[in-house]
Amino acid sequence: MQQPMITDKERKRYIRQIPMIGEAGQERLKSARVLVAGAGGLGTVISLYLAAAGVGCLRIVDCDAVEPSNLNRQILHWSGDIGRPKTASIEEKLAALNPLIRIETVSGRITEESIEKMVRSCDLIVDAMDNFPTRYLLNRTAVAKGIPFIHGAVRGFFGQATTVIPGKTPCLRCIFPGGISPQEVPIVGATCGVIGSIEATEAIKLLAGLGEPLSGRLFLWDGLALSADSVTVERDPSCPVCGIRKGG
């Protein structure tokens, strides 16, 4: 399928990034459809930067309404949005930021029954969730369908990120094999900014075909010490999702 050519209007809008990613890279961003799973602390940051970069279609999924406790970190939800569906709030802000892209919102939970339709025709899945059961479902779906999956998570001043390339890299279950129960965690808004920006950067690199992804590595952020590191992670041959015994 031929990639859509960028217009003069788009060329002017993205002139500060085209020298780095090239017009071909910008065209790849324009032709991409990305699923952003969550419109909270991570999802608002990820969506903001992907929209600004010119990703052609963002499909954003969330089931919640804006609450006062969201406002310390969810940067596209404002005081006047309290009570509104997060999908409506985020769609309004992103459409105002970049009217040249398409925003698709899905107000609902990510479940075994709903995820098939949510990921349909998507080139990339970006994790902006706050619980591991849903992350495991996203991971399993990404591996089954061969869709790259970018994971990110935050807690307080700490965060992590990695990129899963199905069939080539460890999946999320390889890295975190044990079940992790959902729980409410303390979050500093700036941590969402760091990890969300990393996830957005990974997405832009993957879509534009640039650089080295965070595959086979887990990025670790410590905001208290203001330090970052990455550790090597390996594929588990017995992983129930992507292991060799599963034929992955």
The pLDDT of residue 4 is: 81
Question: What is residue 178's predicted lDDT score, i.e. its pLDDT?
Answer: 80
Tell me the one-letter amino acid at 14.
Y
Q: Greatest CA separation found in the chain?
A: 52
Query: Distance between CA 200 and CA 181 in Å, rounded?
Result: 26
CB contact at 8 A, 57 and 244: no
Q: What is the pLDDT of residue 27?
A: 98
DSSP string, 106-126: EES---TTTHHHHHTT-SEEE
Whether 17 has a pLDDT exceeding 90, the answer reads yes
Q: What is the pLDDT of residues 81-138, one digit of tens each?
A: 999 999 999 999 999 999 999 999 999 999 999 999 999 999 999 999 999 999 999 9
Q: In whole angstroms, give the CA distance from residue 203 to residue 213.
A: 9
Q: What are the residues facing 222 on neighbouring strands?
A: 158, 227
Q: For the residues 142-151, what does the mean pLDDT come to?
A: 98
Is the pLDDT higher at 247 or at 197? 197
Domain ranges of the chain: 32-246
pLDDT score recorded for residue 3? 73
Assigned superfamily of 32-246: NAD(P)-binding Rossmann-like Domain (3.40.50.720)
> According to the model, what pLDDT value does residue 185 have?
82
Q: How much of the chain, in percent, has pLDDT values that exceed 90?
A: 93
Using one digit for the tens of pLDDT, what is the confidence trace for 162-213? 999 999 999 999 999 986 666 678 999 999 999 999 999 999 999 999 999 9
pLDDT of 174 reads 96
195, 206, 111, 170: CA torsion to nearest 10: -80
CB of 56 closer than 8 Å to CB of 29: yes
Average pLDDT of every residue of the chain: 95
Could you tell me the pLDDT band of residue 248, with boundaries at 50, 70 and 90?
Answer: very low
- Name the DSSP letter for residue 179: -
pLDDT > 70? residue 2: no
